[in-house]
Chain A
């Protein structure tokens, strides 16, 4: 009993001070966002004639129309999946950057299944698309992680090379086997109607994939923080030698996290293709999502819920710039990448705002020693 009392006494004391790391992280995040917005404003001042209105439009533009809100929600889901995939890999200490290529080549599978009369059921058809993409995603994501775990191959370079190779293969397959006569560009046939994903809320054009994302996020959160696998991932990400010493097989862990990440990429690719297009273009449809996912994972600090929130916020900002672009052609959507970059660099800086915290710790250290 006495133990509990002293514990709660301590926790009270530390909740109020900056030595509490959660509170500190939150403050850090808010200040980082404010700094990023300030820098954005400076850039807007340089490029735009009406920077105040421009910033205003970026921040609040998406709320002005129903269509915009729907578009944010619809488009952020695949990115959230990519972010979750990167988060799992990063958290386990891996630097497998293969999501980009896997998104693109998984698209081939989705397009192939969606445009073929494999079933007449409009429930089964999208599910088959998902399963196909997820299976391929898992298998391909494992390759760099396997090579790293078994032979200590540089997974970063290998996965990036595979990205280019997969993109080439995807383009080759579509060009050779899936192209329609009517189109000039390298693109697949249209999907069949049965492959379409039903809406969850039609007026905003929000598909039921939102539910899928929420379910997956909750499961991932539980896996990360409650399960034995999550424990292994955290341990291995923090100190791989310690994980090995503890008897956690680095090999098995690398394979299983890669498989999970691959499955998530497959989900993201399918969601994106079936909700946002009616055919697949390898050079356009899914390009950039995998890489964006890595940035989202960094923004969300590899925490599943954090990643989903980050994905939403970034897509919201992108929608804001898109709205702005209608009225002010001087500000292209790429400005969001700059905002994103600044926030990532600041929040991943452990020494950012460190002074504040250190002074507190120093004081406590001296006080304690005096006792």
Chain B
């Protein structure tokens, strides 16, 4: 009989805005197991973890840790009791060194001051013990994503965490890096640590877990031994229906005469003397989806900013949208050429949270004739347009006058997609279009992208989610370190691990091969 380390009894969380994130969750975690918690994006996994880690307090229910009922006031209490968490979005301070990041909140002291020598020594020992291969005096801003994750894990180990929560840890890693992480997790397990592994990638979950708990729509759907569960059963538990992954079936193949929606040639840009974009050339044809795969932070964000016209730093090279050179054009002028843009940060860039949905649904074409009168905007028409869009895109809301803040992540993304879709774009950039939203909404967004593609628009899909790129893209380029490291002319003819080699920079195609991205 194994020892129970953590127990949840009827844990419920209702947010002040009325959202019910978790309802009557009952779960048990055993010491020394790797226990996965799976569920769709938005199913309530993150909220549950935040309650275990003391960031949120349950509205009702009991959390028992090591046999004692606990009421964490903050994550400090959880950390003291030996719980550590690696967040999906890293909680590191780039301008601090690795040491400073690790010791933050629990510094070795020499009198009143921080004992920097002792701190560095302890961190280096820890890094060496777990074979992390880090120079602990380096600044975090100079590290790769995988290394930053190691720093995050070191942070929990430094605080003697017995229970380590990893929230979607593989979403930023290449398949190879994921493999390495899993080896480390198994090592932790041997050392007696308990691992809570949060993910929505089922294959990885099957690969690593001892037991699996499923959450659907905020409600627990039970805990199962990994060995007793088939992939199909797991899928059904998570979404209650079969997944529809085969996007190719929806694609039509009309001839758009090889016309180019986007042509990027010899794009170069520097930050502090370091090239962040190094001579990038590719094209997006009308009626195709070009996928950009790559680990976050390899220049994708800068590339997108250059293309849409939001880049504050000067760049070299040419960007043509629908045949027109965009030199010195701002985003408005580029949009007028037929460009639409689904931004990664839907709350920060893509919506104004405290304004009504209707205002958010017209922002990129508010000057268009059909919603304007002679002198003023035509509020009746705007209401009509937004009601139509809300209906077509199945946005779950009481009215178009509700503020965007009152919507769930998936519905906010639908508002963004609906608005961009309604500009009748000839060229669309979709940047992480389904990041962090529920499967239903994600599927819906994918169908809308295919619909646009079939109608002849060129789509540049930038995504860190490899499955998404492989499912949707007609052609794929891989970015590594500000360059295109690989080009795959047939999106159906690739697999994750071969893409992964290029994402890591372990392989690099020849200039001729990559030239196909522009010339095919």
Touch between chains A and B, by CB atoms below 8 Å: yes
A residues engaging B (CB < 8 A)? 3, 7, 10-11, 222, 226-228, 231, 234-235, 238-239, 241-249, 358, 361-362, 364-366, 368-369
B367 touches A235 (CB 8 A): no
Give the segment of B14-22, B65-73, B270-278, B455-463 that binds chain A: B14-22
Cα–Cα, bound, A239→B355 (Å)? 9
| Listed A/B pairs (5) with beta-carbon separation below 8 Å | A10-B399, A241-B348, A244-B310, A249-B330, A365-B14
Chain B, Cβ-Cβ closest to A361? B18
Distance (whole angstroms) from the CB of B445 to the closest CB of chain A: 18
A247 touches B364 (CB 8 A): yes
Give the segment of B95-103, B157-165, B369-377 that binds chain A: B369-377
B14 touches A7 (CB 8 A): no
B348 touches A231 (CB 8 A): no
B20 touches A245 (CB 8 A): no
Chain A, Cβ-Cβ closest to B20? A369
A245 touches B331 (CB 8 A): yes
Cα–Cα, bound, A244→B332 (Å)? 9
B contact residues, range = 35 or more
CB-CB under 8 A for A228 and B367, given A244-B331, A362-B18, A364-B18: yes
Chain B, Cβ-Cβ closest to A357? B16
Q: Which of B16, B23, B352 contacts A358 (CB 8 A)?
A: B16
What residues on A are CB-neighbors of B387 within 8 Å?
A: 3
CB-CB under 8 A for A366 and B20, given A226-B376, A247-B330: yes
Cα–Cα, bound, A238→B351 (Å)? 9
Interface presence of B341 (CB below 8 A) = yes
Q: Which of A226, A238, A358 contacts B355 (CB 8 A)?
A: A238
Chain A, Cβ-Cβ closest to B343? A245
B14 touches A239 (CB 8 A): no
Interface presence of B366 (CB below 8 A) = yes
Distance (whole angstroms) from the CB of A165 to the closest CB of chain B: 30
User: Interface SS of chain A: helix, strand, loop or mixed?
Assistant: helix
B376 touches A227 (CB 8 A): yes
A245 touches B349 (CB 8 A): yes
Cα–Cα, bound, A26→B364 (Å)? 33
CB-CB under 8 A for A365 and B19, given A3-B387, A244-B310, A245-B310: yes
Within 8 A of A (CB), among B10-45: 14-20, 23
> Chain B 300-342, CB within 8 Å of chain A: the 1/0 string?
0000000000100000000000000000001110010000010
A228 touches B372 (CB 8 A): yes
Cα–Cα, bound, A7→B182 (Å)? 52
CB-CB under 8 A for A231 and B359, given A226-B377, A245-B350, A247-B330: yes
What residues on B are CB-neighbors of A235 within 8 Å?
A: 352, 355, 359, 363
Cα–Cα, bound, A249→B331 (Å)? 9
What residues on B are CB-neighbors of A222 within 8 Å?
A: 376
B399 touches A7 (CB 8 A): yes
Known: A242-B352, A365-B17, A366-B20. 4 other contacts (CB 8 A): A11-B399, A234-B355, A249-B332, A358-B16
A242 touches B351 (CB 8 A): yes
Cα–Cα, bound, A234→B354 (Å)? 10
Cα–Cα, bound, A243→B310 (Å)? 12
What residues on B are CB-neighbors of A361 within 8 Å?
A: 16-18
Distance (whole angstroms) from the CB of A118 to the closest CB of chain B: 34
Cα–Cα, bound, A369→B332 (Å)? 41
CB-CB under 8 A for A239 and B330, given A365-B20, A369-B23: no
B352 touches A238 (CB 8 A): yes
Interface presence of B129 (CB below 8 A) = no
Interface presence of B233 (CB below 8 A) = no
CB-CB under 8 A for A227 and B18, given A247-B332, A369-B23: no
What residues on B are CB-neighbors of A368 within 8 Å?
A: 18
Distance (whole angstroms) from the CB of B266 to the closest CB of chain A: 26
Chain B, Cβ-Cβ closest to A237? B352
A247 touches B335 (CB 8 A): yes
CB-CB under 8 A for A246 and B14, given A226-B377, A227-B375: no
B399 touches A228 (CB 8 A): no
Interface presence of B353 (CB below 8 A) = yes
What residues on A are CB-neighbors of B23 within 8 Å?
A: 369
CB-CB under 8 A for A242 and B16, given A7-B399, A249-B330, A249-B332: no
In the complex, which of the residues B15, B18, B349, B376 has the most CB atoms of chain A within 10 Å of its own CB atom? B18
Cα–Cα, bound, A246→B398 (Å)? 25
Interface presence of B190 (CB below 8 A) = no
Within 8 A of A (CB), among B190-217: none
Interface presence of B379 (CB below 8 A) = yes
Distance (whole angstroms) from the CB of A240 to the closest CB of chain B: 9
> Chain B 276-288, CB within 8 Å of chain A: the 1/0 string?
0000000000000
What residues on A are CB-neighbors of B18 within 8 Å?
A: 361-362, 364-366, 368
Chain B, Cβ-Cβ closest to A14? B398
Cα–Cα, bound, A369→B14 (Å)? 10
What residues on A are CB-neighbors of B353 within 8 Å?
A: 238-239
